[in-house]
């Protein structure tokens, strides 16, 4: 069984390596220099403090949406709705940020909590429908993504601004951004949100691994019928899992609203933070620590990719292909295990 | 405004918004009925749209008015090949099917934009010169009352999608192939003991879903979007997936759900011209299809039961 634990770490690592290798092959195939390409990627992610700051900024919401998807997965639910929960969280944070006039030590936590609540409510709806009426959570969360997108656009135009395409900037007392961090990182958009994200990861770990609530949630994820037979309230656990999942995603919205942008714009499409969160959760094997590591990898890839077109002439979408392949190999872990076992046998 | 004018204004756009959803949802029905969850429908549509547009742009001069028809066929073939990736992962590699579906979505979009930049040096293609056009259907459009509503200024492809749904229903419920397909999705072990190859059936089903997804994506691209960029297919595949579940994994049910979505989407486009809807703020028309779907699922559709073995890899000899 010890080798099983080793596999759990080896499979993601091998998947990442194969993904990067495939990326190199694709670059070669289209006549680019893969070494130049990856050098540009590295430079764009960690080249100087500015890029490091931008990478951390991107990692922050990825951790939170990753946690959101991972948390729901643990209870056997698939939350495609992190996207919508990010949007309502973002909107709620901005609303608190521009409407209220409070001292910072109340205003900022208030804005963050309201964002988490908004996300939680957006997660509560599919949770309730799944628990009480057996409606598939995948379809409800997909629908709610669109409802969130279009309604927040309408609210930005009509309520939060005067027919403008974006809201005002939030009050400084609600902002997560810090001059100190910006100076440190040559004026990147890095903000204190990363602390919240890491704290959220610790909460998830504690909740899942160290409390009876987490035990019940996992149990429902493994086998609903057995859990029910053991006296657990399956319906309540399903709702709770979606609410907590939504709260994490709502926090990710707060990071964008209070940290990175400081306002919210009308948008024709999704932020993709929620969808990328699915990839983060999958690579992170739905564990808190795994999600943090995966978020760092994908954040670095995404931010670093922006440097690839200018320095190496490689379209930055190459990184999307690499990420897709990594997920594909993680999903196909069975075959990686099989190959590894074959190799081991060969040694003997 | 009379009833006929009103219907003539509402129904053609509803049909033309539905067609891509119907095609793709039918693909989803095949895949899921064989026991393979297909979240990758979105990606298959992206691939179809990309191939359809690129082929159309490249061969418009050679093929003339036949271009869109050949384009959707080529898109079908390429998407079918592309879907083999999902089949290999889900059937042979015993991957988590949801996960490999997500990978398909990421891969199709990444690949599509990457290649667009390779071919055209920019993030989106030019507009196609040979899209599908609306026509009056010969003879049928002369029928009084019904003609103007259903057969004037319409895309032929809309009717092809409805006919295809009927064909799919026939295949799935009236042929040995359909019986086997459903058996593999409900109880693979029983099917296996009866000599049906679970692997083969599931591969075939996923490839069919790839072909239909590509068809849906290319039809969307050549009737509505007219070019390819990262914003061409944004969520239509997920809508199709919703139609599959909404339609209870039945070809005609999925078609009905897709028609409903198409109708609801068309309302937000043509709403301003309809007296009753003109005063409604646009946001309500925009979110209406999604809210109605949720309400419908929660209210009168009831519990949706997926094919029993949906999402589970079949491992020979395991109980």
Tell me the pLDDT tens digit for each residue of A157-209. Answer: 988 888 888 898 998 888 888 888 888 888 888 889 999 999 999 999 999 99
Contact predicate A115/A253, CB 8 Å: yes
A318 and A306 part of one domain: no
Q: Is the pLDDT of residue A1 over 60?
A: no
A39 inside domain:
no
Q: What is the rounded distance in angstroms from the CA atom of residue A182 to the CA atom of residue A175?
A: 13
Q: Using the CB atoms, write b or e for B274-311: b if 16+ within 10 Å.
A: eeebeeeeebbbbbbbbbebbeebbeebeebebbebbe
A1 and A143 part of one domain: no
Residue holding tokens 């979606």? A242
Helix (H), strand (E) at residue A316: none
Closest residue by Cα to residue A245 from A215, A209, A207, A193: A207
A303 and A175 part of one domain: yes
| Mean pLDDT of all residues in B174-188 | 94
pLDDT score, position B298? 81
Q: Is the pLDDT of residue B40 over 80?
A: yes
Q: Is the pLDDT of residue B36 over 50?
A: yes
Closest residue by Cα to residue A140 from B269, B285, B282, B301: B301
Query: Which chain B residues are within 8 Å of A332, Cβ to Cβ?
Result: 89, 93-95, 100
Q: Which among B102, B281, B291 is the nearest to A278, CB-wise?
A: B102
The tokens for A212 are 């009876």
Crossing angle for the helix pair A2-29 and A333-347, nearest 10 degrees?
110
Domains in chain B, CATH or no CATH each: 3-301 (1.10.3470)
| Beta-carbon contacts below 8 Å between A and B | 139
pLDDT in tens, B103-152: 999 999 999 999 999 999 888 899 988 888 887 777 777 777 777 777 77
Number of independent structural domains in chain A: 2
Interface test with A, best of B94, B232, B294, B311 (most A CBs within 10 A): B294
A303 and A320 part of one domain: no
Can you give the CATH number for the domain in which A80 is found? 1.10.3470
Provide the shortest C-alpha distance from residue A231 to chain B (in Å). Answer: 24
Q: Is the pLDDT of residue A147 over 90?
A: yes
pLDDT in tens, A54-97: 999 999 999 999 999 999 999 989 898 999 999 999 999 999 99
Residue A166 is given by DSSP the state: B
Q: What is the rounded distance in angstroms from the CA atom of residue B16 to the CA atom of residue B133?
A: 11
A38 inside domain:
no
**How crowded is residue B245: how many other Cβ atoms within 10 Å of its Cβ?**
25
Query: Which chain B residues are within 8 Å of A323, Cβ to Cβ?
Result: 106, 110
A19 and A141 part of one domain: no
A158 and A175 part of one domain: yes
| Mean pLDDT of all residues in A271-292 | 91
Q: Which among A133, A146, A315 is the nearest to B117, CB-wise?
A: A315
The tokens for A87 are 């949007």
pLDDT score, position B88? 93
A186 inside domain:
yes
Contact predicate B107/B241, CB 8 Å: no
The tokens for A111 are 């804005």
pLDDT score, position B309? 82
Q: Is the pLDDT of residue B270 over 80?
A: no
- Kindly state whether B273 is in contact with chain A, defined as any CB-CB distance less than 8 angstroms: no
Q: What is the rounded distance in angstroms from the CA atom of residue B218 to the CA atom of residue B211?
A: 11
A254 inside domain:
yes
Cβ–Cβ below 8 Å for A328 and B103: yes
Q: What is the rounded distance in angstroms from the CA atom of residue B182 to the CA atom of residue B191?
A: 9
Q: Is the pLDDT of residue A323 over 60?
A: yes
A62 and A171 part of one domain: yes
A2 and A59 part of one domain: no
Q: Is the pLDDT of residue B305 over 80?
A: no
For B290, name the nearest residue in chain A, comparing CA atoms only: A143
Q: What is the rounded distance in angstroms from the CA atom of residue B74 to the CA atom of residue B77?
A: 5
| Mean pLDDT of all residues in A236-253 | 96
- Kindly state whether B231 is in contact with chain A, defined as any CB-CB distance less than 8 angstroms: yes
pLDDT in tens, B197-215: 999 999 999 999 999 999 9
A180 and A304 part of one domain: yes
Cβ–Cβ below 8 Å for A147 and B304: no
Query: Which chain B residues are within 8 Å of A283, Cβ to Cβ?
Result: none
A62 and A8 part of one domain: no
pLDDT score, position A3? 65
| Mean pLDDT of all residues in B69-93 | 95
Q: What is the rounded distance in angstroms from the CA atom of residue A111 to the CA atom of residue A94?
A: 8
Closest residue by Cα to residue B117 from A40, A320, A301, A269: A320
A120 and A253 part of one domain: yes
- Write out the residue range of the structural domain in which residue A342 sits: 1-32+314-348
A304 and A328 part of one domain: no
A44 inside domain:
no
pLDDT in tens, B186-200: 999 999 999 999 999
Q: Is the pLDDT of residue B86 over 90?
A: yes
Q: Which among B109, B291, B294 is the nearest to A320, CB-wise?
A: B109
Contact predicate A18/A325, CB 8 Å: yes
Q: What are phi and psi of A166, to 5 degrees?
A: -150, 160
Q: Is the pLDDT of residue A99 over 50?
A: yes
Residue B142 is given by DSSP the state: G
Closest residue by Cα to residue B35 from B169, B190, B164, B165: B190
**More confident site: B154 or B108:** B108
pLDDT in tens, A14-44: 999 999 999 999 999 999 999 999 999 999 9
Q: What is the rounded distance in angstroms from the CA atom of residue B169 to the CA atom of residue B162?
A: 11
**Which B residues, 122 through 161, put their C-beta within 8 Å of a C-beta on chain A?**
none
Reported residue count of chain A is 348
A180 inside domain:
yes
Q: What is the rounded distance in angstroms from the CA atom of residue B271 to the CA atom of residue B276?
A: 9
ipTM of predicted assembly, 2 dp: 0.87
| Mean pLDDT of all residues in B21-48 | 95
pLDDT in tens, B217-231: 999 999 988 999 988
């Amino acid at each position: 069984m010890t080798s099983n634990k080793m596999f759990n770490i080896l499979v993601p690592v091998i998947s990442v390596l194969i993904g990067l290798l495939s990326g190199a092959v694709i670059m070669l195939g289209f006549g680019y220099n893969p070494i130049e390409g990856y050098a540009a990627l590295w430079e764009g992610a960690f080249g100087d403090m500015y890029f490091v700051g931008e990478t951390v900024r991107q990692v922050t919401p990825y951790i939170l949406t990753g946690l959101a998807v991972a948390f729901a997965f643990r209870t056997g639910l698939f939350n495609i709705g992190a996207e919508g929960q990010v949007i309502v969280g973002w909107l709620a944070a901005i609303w608190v940020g521009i409407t209220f006039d409070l001292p910072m030590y109340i205003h900022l936590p208030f804005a963050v909590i309201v964002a988490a609540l908004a996300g939680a409510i957006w997660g509560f709806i599919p949770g309730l429908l799944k628990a009480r009426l057996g409606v598939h959570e995948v379809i409800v969360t997909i629908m709610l993504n669109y409802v969130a997108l279009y309604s927040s656009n309408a609210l930005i135009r009509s309520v939060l601004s005067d027919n403008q395409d974006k809201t005002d900037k939030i009050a400084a007392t609600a902002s997560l951004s810090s001059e100190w961090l910006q100076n440190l990182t040559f004026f990147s958009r890095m903000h204190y949100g990363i602390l919240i994200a890491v704290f959220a990861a610790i909460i998830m770990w504690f909740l899942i691994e160290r409390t009876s609530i987490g035990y019940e949630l996992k149990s429902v994820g493994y086998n609903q019928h057995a859990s029910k037979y053991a006296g657990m309230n399956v319906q309540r656990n399903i709702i709770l899992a979606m609410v907590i999942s939504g709260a994490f995603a709502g926090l990710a919205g707060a990071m964008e609203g209070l940290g990175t942008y400081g306002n919210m714009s009308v948008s024709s499409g999704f932020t993709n933070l929620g969808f990328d969160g699915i990839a983060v959760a999958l690579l992170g094997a739905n564990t808190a620590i795994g999600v943090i590591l995966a978020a760092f990898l994908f954040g670095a890839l995404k931010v670093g990719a922006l440097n690839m077109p200018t320095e190496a002439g490689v379209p930055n979408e190459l990184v999307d292909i690499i990420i897709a392949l990594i997920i594909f190999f993680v999903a196909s872990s069975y075959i990686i295990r099989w190959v590894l076992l074959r190799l081991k046998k060969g040694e003997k | 405004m009379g009833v006929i004018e009103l219907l003539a204004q509402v129904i053609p756009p509803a049909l033309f918004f539905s067609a891509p959803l119907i095609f793709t949802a039918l693909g989803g029905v095949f895949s899921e009925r064989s026991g393979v969850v297909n979240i990758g429908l979105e990606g298959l549509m992206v691939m179809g749209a990309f191939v359809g547009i690129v082929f159309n742009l490249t061969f418009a001069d050679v093929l003339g008015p036949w271009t869109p028809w050949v384009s959707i066929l080529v898109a079908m073939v390429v998407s079918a090949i592309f879907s083999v990736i999902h089949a290999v992962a889900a059937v042979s590699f015993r991957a988590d099917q949801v996960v490999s579906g997500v990978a398909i979505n990421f891969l199709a979009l990444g690949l599509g934009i990457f290649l667009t930049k390779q071919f055209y040096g920019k993030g989106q293609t030019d507009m196609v010169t040979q899209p599908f056009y609306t026509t009056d259907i010969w003879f049928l459009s002369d029928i009084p009352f019904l003609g103007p509503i259903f057969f004037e200024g319409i895309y032929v492809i809309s009717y092809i999608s409805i006919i295809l749904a009927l064909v799919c229903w026939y295949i799935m419920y009236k042929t040995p192939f359909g019986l086997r397909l459903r058996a593999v999705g409900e109880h693979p072990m029983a099917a296996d003991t009866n000599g049906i190859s679970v692997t083969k059936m599931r591969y075939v089903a996923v490839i069919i879903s790839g072909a239909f997804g590509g068809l849906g994506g290319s039809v969307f691209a050549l009737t509505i979007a007219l070019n390819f960029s990262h914003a061409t297919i944004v969520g239509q595949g997920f809508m199709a997936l919703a139609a599959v579940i909404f339609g209870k994994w039945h070809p005609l049910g999925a078609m009905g759900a897709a028609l409903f979505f198409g109708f609801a989407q068309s309302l937000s486009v043509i709403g301003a011209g309809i007296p009753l809807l003109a005063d409604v703020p646009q946001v309500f028309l925009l979110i209406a299809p999604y809210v109605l779907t949720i309400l419908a699922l929660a209210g009168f559709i009831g519990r949706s039961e997926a094919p029993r073995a949906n999402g589970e890899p079949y491992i020979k000899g395991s109980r």
